[in-house]
Amino acid sequence: MNISVVIPLLNERESLIELHDWIADVMQSNHFSYEILFIDDGSTDGSWETIQQLSENNKAVKGIQFLRNFGKSQALHAGFEKALGDVIITMDADLQDNPEEIPELYNMIISDGFDMVSGWKKKRYDSVLSKNIPSKLFNWAARKTSGVKLHDFNCGLKAYKHNVVKNIDVNGEMHRYIPVLAKNAGFTKIGEKIVQHQARKYGETKFGMDRFIHGFLDLITIWFISRFGRRPMHLFGALGVMMFAIGFAFSLYLGIDKLFLNPNGRLITDRPQFFIALVTMIIGTQFFVAGFLGEIILRTKENRKRYLIKDAI
């Protein structure tokens, strides 16, 4: 199979038939063998019934229905597990991503040898203050922190080699950072393509300003995981040893001063250096214990299901 199109969605019933017809026309005109995977992330507007109808009319349409809303990352994870295509295309269900981009994205993976290609919505039809400016700031921070030189990390339109999606773990709200996850997994040939962005035709956006706050917090998380996720003791242990050494040095100074240099001076407990030594040694011990516990958790963690599937076709 040439292409799997993975489409996570939440309450997008009005756009599904039009999106399906558009994708099917593109696939047929380019003679691609394909499947369309709709991942219903707990919709309550009848989206699943529409997906079932599409599946009855087109055997290339498949679907997964979550028991409730688990989030876009979990939806992508479920779609990636089920996808069979040589190239996996992800796109949003709101008709803001253009299926006409699919053939060129496919060729960039197959002919140009990219591991993944991310779309870049250079010209956007979103609110400047609430989306465009925060998005530019977010993408700048992501580039600086991750080292992945993309202009638009959060674009839903992306293409992947089959083995990329099978070897990355998209969890939490890490769908924004799939290029970083791919890079950390060893897939370093990451490309970018300017894609057409279209104004939303139906419904309203499911994301507010809080997504940028969550995005920056997730950016810190992925920075930490990429550097210390497999060796937390290297960070916390180093900080713990440094803090403990500072506290011990103050303690040693106070002891030598009281015993040999100024035995008739103030009590040790009346001096601020005593409290600096005490606090830093306690903090150092806590950092060291945190690193030790992190190592234990890392070695004993269990892989649990992050979502529950209600139905599938």
pTM of the model: 0.76
Q: Using alpha carbons only, what angle is made at residue 208 by residues 202 and 210, rounded to the nearest 5 degrees? A: 160
Q: Is residue 43 pLDDT above 70, yes or no?
A: yes
Residues 168-221 have pLDDT tens digits of: 988 877 888 899 889 988 899 999 999 988 776 776 665 555 666 776 777 777
Q: How far apart are CA 258 and CA 273, in angstroms?
A: 12
Q: Is residue 7 pLDDT above 70, yes or no?
A: yes
Residues 243-293 have pLDDT tens digits of: 999 999 989 999 898 888 888 878 888 888 889 999 999 999 999 999 988
Nearest CA to 8 among 150, 157, 210, 131?
A: 157
Most confident of 104-113, 188-197, 256-265, 296-305: 104-113
